[in-house]
Structure 1
């Protein structure tokens, strides 16, 4: 095994990084995960996750965690409604009994993280470790963190997300703006704070598509309603809009203008103060991105191939990266670490290019003039 007696640092404790740590520990590798969260109990934001058979679920199978997954997944969370701005329903999988996502079971981020964390050896995750910089030392890297601590690793794996600070040590390829900016909101205790919309979403998902905009909903088991607006904007709209996104009332004023012709029921999103809001301009990397492989550094997940969420591939790509990288690093066919990383990166970049292309097509489709019509045809296999 080419990583025998080597210290491995995974920077980022999301699903991809934790999955990789689990798979490497099953092969007795020496691995640490450096995570910026203060501890394991920090609230995990974002929508529920749908895991795909060939990627996310395959990673859990290889990690020996399917029983834990089956005990925590949410059977009806993937059931979808498709609506227009006036609340007209074009698809309702709750009443039809069908589901386009039956082979993509849903799980909340928090229980998935708990499953992965509890599968690791004690002290694997080094909490409160926000990456600042690193420098070459011996054959590897000396990593520096905001808390003042520094650690050496022979191999660094960047799993630090879409705004990765480590990526620049490997490549200077910049992301490309997709033309869409999302505003994410999380409404806590939504059943009491947004009762009409909570009932409408029915513990599942909603795609509302109209006027070349999107308004997407999902629920979490803890009673949180997560929503995402999607609008065509300039790349610097967040900075130039003058909106303080920590101020709910300013965001609400924007929403009432941007979605002014939409049914007033959508405005229930902003009636409660139990809400967190964050703008998210959507970027992707070039379909033909490539870089020179190093022997002591590689990327996985959004750090390698960030893309908009409109194909539901983000976490699945990261978890597939994890099992493919673990396989390359631990199989006997590779003569050294660089060869193992090259084998992984070649397959990962090809797969990322294909999925990014599909994602960009979906992004354009969901924000097109005939979005609902095209989406329904897609569900019908046309």
Structure 2
């Protein structure tokens, strides 16, 4: 086996990194995951994730975790409403489609994956700062000064990964869209009319170049995103301070003056915001063919893309499946050959996913865009 008596280091304990660790441990590989979060209880913000049949769910099945995923995830229907809160389309999940792409809270997914790993697999409170080569091994450096060594490094630490420069010169490109993500605690009482409008489904509204998508059952929160094209005269975040929730609430109220009071109730009830300029890492740039030791990237570290096709985490999980299989199936003579085969395949399907995402992003801001047309 290629990794016999080898140490694998995965940087990042997101869903892709943890799944990679799980798949390698199933084959008896010595793997350690290094994560910047302080501990396993550190809360992850953001909307829920949905794993697709044919990609993410297939990987969970290979990892022996699909049934557990079904137990923890929620089938969610769709409701499309206009700016005045009139319901244009509504569909609840059925027994036939309830497992197509159920939604799971990010913290629940992390817990599911952590529970599947050998105790001590994840080393917490390790902010990765760089790599060096020492005595024929990678020397992983962290901001607390506690270095580690490995024979193979897999970067799975997101779009701002500092491991990327060892693999490719590709840089993040902004796509011109801005997403303001909000979270509402106890939505049943803090924004009851909007919560009722959601009707236990994902609510979607589009109007005048603004899109709102809300999920009322993201764990114990209601989470939503407001999406619009970033005006040319703005900087990446327009100076909005995510720590000043009142200023962002006022910005949203000013941006949606003619929308129904239920939407304004949602904004006023928001307890926390994240501002996200959407970005991508193009995979069509050449990846480095000469590397001092085996190293590669998976997930957002390799090919971050906006969420407009729901492909990000699913493509990342496919990365983990292909790479782990290449490293353990005995078909390759060297680790570098297994990595090269994975990367060549990944570049093709990740580029296709990015193209689909880009097409959706363009379509979403056309004057005639309608969520209703997409679902009815």
- Against the structure 1 CA distance between its residues 209 and 146, is the aligned structure 2 distance closer, same or farther, given a 3 Å change threshold? same
Which whole-Å CA distance do the structure 2 matches of 1:270 and 1:166 have between them?
A: 38
Show CA shifts across 1:29-87 (max 9, x none): 11000011111111121111111111111111111112322221213xx2111122222
State the secondary structure of the residue aligned to 2:316: helix
2:283/2:302 contact within 8 Å kept: no
**Cα RMSD (Å):** 2.1
| Alignment partner, residue 134 of structure 2 | 137
Tell me the equivalent position of 1:292: 288
User: Which moves more between the two structures, 113-122 or 127-136?
Assistant: 127-136
> Equivalents in 1 of 2:190, 2:235: separation in Å?
27
Greater mean deviation of Cα atoms: 239-248 or 362-371: 239-248
Instruction: Provide the residue aligned with 2:70 in structure 1.
Output: 70
Provide, for residues 63-118 of structure 1, a one-character-per-residue CA deviation record: whole Å limited to 9, x for no partner: 1112322221213xx21111222222221113x96998751122222221111101
CA distance in structure 2 between the partners assigned to 1:328 and 1:71 by the alignment: 30
Deviation at 1:287, TM superposition (A): 5.5
Q: Is residue 169 of structure 2 the alignment partner of residue 172 of structure 1?
A: yes
Q: 1:23 to 1:361 in 2, by over 3 A?
A: same
Q: CA deviation at 1:221?
A: 5.1
Cα deviation, residue 240, structure 1: 6.2
Partner of 1:310: 308
Give TM-score scaled by structure 1 length: 0.92
1:279 aligns with 2:255: no
Unaligned runs of 5+ in 2: none
CA deviation map 1:191-215 (0-9, x unaligned): 2222112111123211111112211
Instruction: Answer whether contact 1:181 1:230 (CA < 8 A) is retained.
Output: yes
User: CA shift at 1:174, angstroms?
Assistant: 1.4
Contact 2:159–2:172 under 8 Å retained in 1 = no
**Displacement of 1:352:** 0.4
Shift of 1:377: 4.0
More deviation in 233-242 or 254-263?
233-242
In 1, are the aligned partners of 2:154 and 2:298 still within 8 Å (CA)? yes
| CA offsets 1:251-292 (integer angstroms, 9 cap, x no match) | 0121122222322321112333x6111110001123523312
Q: Which of 318, 321, 324 is residue 323 of structure 1 equivalent to?
A: 321
Match among 343, 362, 365 for residue 364 of structure 1: 362
| 1:48–1:108 Cα contact (<8 Å) kept | yes
Are 1:184 and 2:192 an aligned pair? Answer: no
- The answer on whether the counterparts of 2:237 and 2:275 sit within 8 Å (CA) in structure 1 is no
Counterpart secondary structure, 2:319: helix
Q: Does the 8 Å CA contact 1:47/1:220 hold for their aligned counterparts? A: no
Residue 142 of structure 1 contacts residue 150 of structure 1 at CA under 8 Å; is this kept in 2?
yes
Q: Tell whether the 8 Å contact from 1:134 to 1:141 is kept in structure 2 after alignment.
A: yes
**1:207-256: CA deviation from partner (whole Å, max 9, x where unpaired):** 11111221111133532011111111147835562322210111012112
How far apart, in 2, do the equivalents of 1:99 and 1:288 lie?
38
Contact 1:37/1:129 (<8 A) preserved: yes
Q: In the alignment, which residue of structure 1 is the partner of 2:55?
A: 55
Q: Does the Cα contact within 8 Å between 1:39 and 1:127 map onto a contact in 2?
A: yes
- 1:350 lines up with 2:351 in the alignment: no
Secondary structure of 2:72's match? Answer: coil
Aligned to 1:84: 82
Normalised by the length of structure 2, the TM-score is 0.94
Partner Cα distance (1:161, 1:44) in 2: 13
Between the aligned partners of 1:148 and 1:202, the Cα distance in structure 2 is 50
| Change over 3 Å in CA distance of 1:302–1:136 after alignment to 2 | same
For the residues of structure 2 that align with 1:99 and 1:246, how far apart are their CA atoms? 43
The residue number in structure 1 matching 2:112 is 115
Partner of 1:3: 3
